[in-house]
Amino acid sequence: MNQKQSRQGDIPTKHALDEDTNTFVREVLQNANDAGPVDEDEPVVVTFRFTHLTGQECRDFKSALQWDEQLFPHLDAAAEEETDLSLENFLDDESDELVLLTIEDQNTQGLSGEEDADESNYTALIRDMHRSNKDDTQGGSHGVGGTVLWAFSGISTVLFTSNPVERDGHEPPRFVGRSYLPDHLVGDSLYKGYGWFGQPDPDDETGRHISLWGENAESTAASLYGDRSDEFGTTTTIVGFREPGEGQPTGEDMVETIELFKRSAVENFWPAILRGNLKIRVQGPGDDNPQPANLETVDSVEPFVEAYRQMYNNDGQVGEPGGVKSKHVDFDFPTRSDGADTPEQGTVTVSVRTAGPSDDERRNQIAVFRGSGMVVQYVDLSDVAKYGADFHGILAAGRARNSPERNPDEADLHVEKLLRAAEPAAHDEWTGTPRLKNEYNDYPVGRVGLVKSLQGSRLRDTVRDLITADDDSDGERISNFEKWFPGARNESTSDGPSPPSPSTPSVSSVHRDIHDFSFEGTRWTFDVSVEPNVDTDEEWKVKLWLAQLFENGGDGERVSIDSVETVDVEAEDTICGIDADGKAFVQASSTGAVRLRCRSRETERLDPTSGRIGRTGIRHELVEDEE
């Protein structure tokens, strides 16, 4: 390489994604899910296998990788060019050990394509890492997700063994490795940062190495812990696995990493797992066999799974824990810039399930996803829960609206394309990407505002309607329990008189915001802010307690408060405590919000003092004159 030529630093897209384990698992599983299935009747199977090499095993691996004579001089030189010190920190660790992460996918297309192919699976993942050859049904579209493989290698080196469906006359398996380093100087010679592990290409004067095939590939892969079965797919080996900025996980860190992999895999891909499209396993260094990561191993997804299962078949009630209600949300569809036909309307489906006392994780969140089976994001709607009941829910769009009760229609397929175009590189929201703006016009509805509203204002309004629109036996709407609270924000309602307007600026009511309300085994806990409705220098005092709430607005059994503390204070001369009746109180002498954290006494019964938040509520009162 001529020293006058421009130089490349880190992987250009290395920082396009959050460099954490959750992102890594999402991207790896998305790529595998998109590459299959070859056999439509079987799931894509992905196995994460950790190997901890020490002593002679580590030295044998490095020897097979030609570490000392070929790789290390380039790593050492590249470390001086890298901006985030990843290589330098890794090489400074002189312990004779390596952690390998081997990712084996089965029932996938594998790394097909010749070395000089314009577009292929091989080209997209390894040769031209920033390009994508995925179609409109698949999850990724930016060609950057695969770079997380190199970002999570301490030496930015990844090895691949593949049994592709399309072999172009070669005998499988196929083996190739690639390093992705900054351009660097070794002695007086300037080297490009991308290095290859394979066999020399006789047609390439630059000395680039190309893939090994057949028996040579099989023996090389075996020496580098990359051998695989005969199933179609690819085995990927990340050398020196660690989360960027951290050391290699060993001991207790390895145990935590394995559990995090299981949790992340299920929480991000439970729709694909539920539909039988994806099977995930994780194997630690001490495990004889891979352990499943499925719906039974991660409790946090169960409420979302039930909301999805009952999307088209539910009782329409959210009055008791486990009750499910759903709604189809229609929206005007933007036209395409290329003039292709689009429907007048698109539809997404929102389904909510009332939380029970034990459904603590991801409470009041909505899982948003489309046909690829990956959860795009969990939208937190805790502020909406105060209008009715604690819940878990889903927003299913595009092909994800498929179920035993219905198949996706033409409009669903258009919604799938629209929302895929709206996903950025991290696939963690729907927003105004350049692709969305290029492919769709801004009429008859603003394209960016539309995709944002589907996971924003429209979702919020839909969930609020679902959790507050229960009907009683006479068909009359049950009052929103938030309206039952004297002095709450919505004080003027059709269900009762408005509070009197004072003739002088005095404290006649308080504003109250609930920040958190959950049941933790045997106690309720809640965070709540209160503040006067006017600017004042008067002393004011508010009491709070929990009570069973009846549908007619009356109170049942009261739950005493066991402890109270201030979390955030704006008012002056603030004190808080618990009175003789078991009510929490806060007292202050000026305007300003006071946020309290309260815990109830322990409860022995699930009903009425625990369970559905819509039937156990927070009461408060302004104390005007207390003798």
Give the pLDDT mean for 276-288.
96
Q: In this structure, how many other beta carbons lie within 10 angstroms of the beta carbon of residue 90?
A: 18
Architecture of domain 484-494+505-622: Sandwich (2.60)
Per-residue pLDDT of 210-239, as tens digits, reads 999 999 999 999 999 999 988 999 999 999
CA–CA gap between residue 26 and residue 593 (Å, rounded):
40
Cβ–Cβ under 8 Å, residues 67 and 53: no
| More confident position, 357 or 227 | 227
Cβ–Cβ under 8 Å, residues 246 and 254: no
CA–CA gap between residue 63 and residue 580 (Å, rounded):
75
Q: DSSP readout, 257-282?
A: HHHHHHHHHHHHHHHHHHTTSEEEEE
Q: Which pLDDT belongs to residue 280? A: 98
Q: Produce one character per residue of 98-118: b if its CB has 16 or more CB atoms within 10 Å, e if not.
A: bbbbbbbbbbbbbbbbebebe
Tokens of 390: 């604690």
CA–CA gap between residue 568 and residue 565 (Å, rounded):
9
Instruction: List the chain domain ranges.
Output: 21-52+96-179+203-293, 300-468, 484-494+505-622
Q: Which pLDDT belongs to residue 283? A: 97
Cβ–Cβ under 8 Å, residues 467 and 461: no
Q: At which residue do the structure tokens 């399930």 appear?
A: 353
Predicted confidence (pLDDT) at residue 339 exceeds the cutoff of 50:
yes
CATH of domain 21-52+96-179+203-293: 3.30.565
57: CB partners within 8 A, 6+ apart: none
Q: Which pLDDT belongs to residue 142? A: 33
Instruction: Provide the β-strand partners of residue 518.
Output: 525
Q: Which pLDDT belongs to residue 218? A: 96
Angle among Cα 620, 502, 576 to the nearest 5 degrees reads 30
135: CB partners within 8 A, 6+ apart: none
Q: At which residue do the structure tokens 């899982």 appear?
A: 367
Q: Grade residue 18 by pLDDT with cuts at 50, 70 and 90.
A: low
In the Cβ-directed half-sphere of 375, how many Cα atoms lie within 13 Å?
A: 27
Per-residue pLDDT of 547-559, as tens digits, reads 876 544 566 778 8
Least confident of 201-205, 284-288, 351-355: 201-205
- Cα dihedral value 522, 302, 347, 279, nearest 10: 160
Amino acid letter for position 232: F
Per-residue pLDDT of 296-338, as tens digits, reads 999 999 999 999 999 999 888 786 789 999 999 999 999 999 9
Per-residue pLDDT of 387-431, as tens digits, reads 788 999 999 999 999 987 788 999 999 999 999 999 998 889 999
Beta strand 324-332 with 345-354 is antiparallel
Predicted confidence (pLDDT) at residue 378 exceeds the cutoff of 60:
yes
Predicted confidence (pLDDT) at residue 186 exceeds the cutoff of 60:
yes
CA–CA gap between residue 16 and residue 29 (Å, rounded):
18
Q: Grade residue 137 by pLDDT with cuts at 50, 70 and 90.
A: very low
- HEC profile for 190-222? EECCEEEECEECCCCCCCCEECEEHHHHHHHHH
Q: Which pLDDT belongs to residue 475? A: 32
- HEC profile for 364-422? CEEEEECCCCCEEEEEECHHHHCCCCCEEEEEECHHHHCECCECCCHHHHHHHHHHHHC
Least confident of 15-19, 96-100, 384-388: 15-19
Cβ–Cβ under 8 Å, residues 389 and 382: no
In the Cβ-directed half-sphere of 149, how many Cα atoms lie within 13 Å?
A: 30
Could you tell me what percent of the chain has a pLDDT over 90? 55
Q: Grade residue 17 by pLDDT with cuts at 50, 70 and 90.
A: very low
What Cα–Cα distance (Å) separates residue 218 from each residue in 126, 172, 197, 215, 305? Answer: 19, 8, 14, 5, 41
CA–CA gap between residue 148 and residue 264 (Å, rounded):
15
Least confident of 30-34, 270-274, 346-350, 473-477: 473-477
| More confident position, 130 or 227 | 227
Give the pLDDT mean for 609-618.
55
